[in-house]
Amino acid sequence: MTNSLTQTATRAVGIDLEEGMDLLRRMILIRRFEERAAQLRASGLIPGFLHPCSGQEAVAVGVCAALGENDVLTSTHRGHGHLIGRGADPARMYAELFARSTGYNAGKGGSLHMIDAELGFLGANGIVGGGIPLATGAALQLKRTGSGAVAVTFFGDGASNEGAFHESLNLAALWKLPVLFVCENNLYGEFTRQNEHMLLENVADRASAYGLPGVVVDGNDVLAVRQVAAEAADRARNGMGPTLIEAKTYRHKGHFEGDMARYRPKEEVESWMKRDPLVLFPNVLRDELGATEESLEALRQEVEERLSRDIEWAKEQEHPSPEDALQHVYVDSYNGRALR
């Protein structure tokens, strides 16, 4: 049943320069958003955890590029890339990281729980594997209403060991739900290397146990990811059910900001750094679509200026008032006082 369509060709298939530059812009935005967030955290402006996705940008951007505006997504603890890939506003993301009341979650969520409901982005998730059943359920409702939309859930190799993953794949396959299970295999479940937490080499092979197709794709190749995601979304929209996509990629940094990741062999890190999607894809744009060095540099500059403005805006936002802690425990009239 497993259909190992390993896509490794870093070739500009089916896009023009403008589309390509747009994909690259989003990937750079993710990378620089997080690098600047790390600095802001070090300077004390961001409380709590950050789990960076540097190195994994091509998965987020590739999958999101294959989706339509009515599709919905769930994410992980490493969710900044997915949000930006979906088109979220970095200014409101920074405001949330700064715990301000105009942040995406009104300062109630932070990095681990960030959402953009208007984009169908149903949330990052603090529980490993927690988003998988939720996307499965969203897909059930999308199917019930004949919406033609699909649900996507991102998760890691570590989450594929959770019961939530196995129960959800079985349910989704059984009911032919329109859902894309997207495993970002970055080789590490927290501090533990994949070969120490599962015997299989490919997470995608787990699909065959539930009777759905499993696809392995080069997760550092944004166009290859986009292609397999588009194929899986087509299948889902045509009533053919879910697909498990395994995107092989690498986490450039540790599990969280501050983790020095000394558990990783130096050679492994170096070899993956050579396959940095932010190196590979500009090469494609330059060599195959004629992007100039100046235009690439201008893109980087544009991202930098945008983020500077976003950070300045976010810094000026109000902090919530302490009593706001009582809001949003319940939807209805109980808001504003703790329900007894």
Q: Which residues here bind other proteins, judged by CB under 8 A?
A: 72, 74, 103-109, 113, 115, 117, 120, 122-123, 125-127, 130, 132-142, 144-145, 151, 163-164, 167-168, 170-171, 174-175, 327-332, 334, 338-340
Task: Give whichever of 142 and 212 is closer to other proteins, judged by the CB atom.
Answer: 142
Task: State the amino acid at position 313 in one-letter form.
Answer: W
Q: Give the residue with the Cβ less far from other proteins, 6 or 170.
A: 170
Output the smallest distance, CB 202 to other proteins, in A. 23
Residue among 107 and 219 whose Cβ is closer to other proteins? 107
Rank residues 9 and 325 by Cβ distance to other proteins and give the closer one: 325
**Residue 152 Cβ, how far from other proteins at the closest point, in Å?**
12
With respect to other proteins, which residue has the nearer C-beta, 199 or 338? 338
CB of 176 to other proteins, least distance (A): 12
Q: Residue 95 or 311: which CB sits closer to other proteins?
A: 95
CA end-to-end span of the chain, whole Å?
Answer: 53
Shorter beta-carbon distance to other proteins: residue 121 or 272: 121
Strand, coil or helix: what is 120?
coil
Q: How far is the CB of 242 from other proteins (least distance, A)?
A: 13
User: Which of 57, 242, 215, 234 has the alpha carbon at shortest distance from 152?
Assistant: 242
215 neighbors 246 (Cβ within 8 angstroms) = yes
Judging by DSSP bridges, how do beta strands 188-189 and 192-193 pair with one another? antiparallel
Cα–Cα distance for residue pair 164/240, rounded to 1 Å = 22
| Least distance CB 80 / other proteins (angstroms) | 16
SS3 172: helix
> Closest distance between other proteins and the C-beta of residue 144, in Å?
6
If we measure between CA atoms, which residue out of 178, 160, 155 comes closest to residue 79?
155
Question: By three-state DSSP, how is residue 51 classified?
Answer: coil
The CB-of-117 to other proteins minimum distance in angstroms stands at 4
Residue 271, token pair as written in the block: 């070899």
Whole-angstrom CA distances from 299 to 21, 53, 59 are: 8, 21, 20
Distance of closest approach, residue 334 Cβ to other proteins, in angstroms: 7
Q: Which is nearer to other proteins, 3 or 170 (CB)?
A: 170
Question: In terms of C-beta density within 10 A (0-12 exposed, 13-18 middle, 19 or more buried), how is residue 314 classed?
Answer: buried
* Nearest-angstrom CA–CA distance, 240 and 243: 9
From the CB of 263, what's the least distance to other proteins, in Å? 27
Angle between helices 17-42 and 293-315 (to 10 degrees): 40
Q: Compute the distance between CA of residue 63 and CA of residue 228 in angstroms, rounded to an integer.
A: 8
Tell me the H-state helices in the chain: 17-42, 57-65, 80-86, 90-97, 131-144, 163-174, 194-197, 222-237, 266-273, 277-289, 293-315
Helix (H) or strand (E) run with residue 154 in it: strand 151-156
CB-wise, 95 or 217, nearer to other proteins? 95
At 277, the amino acid letter reads: P
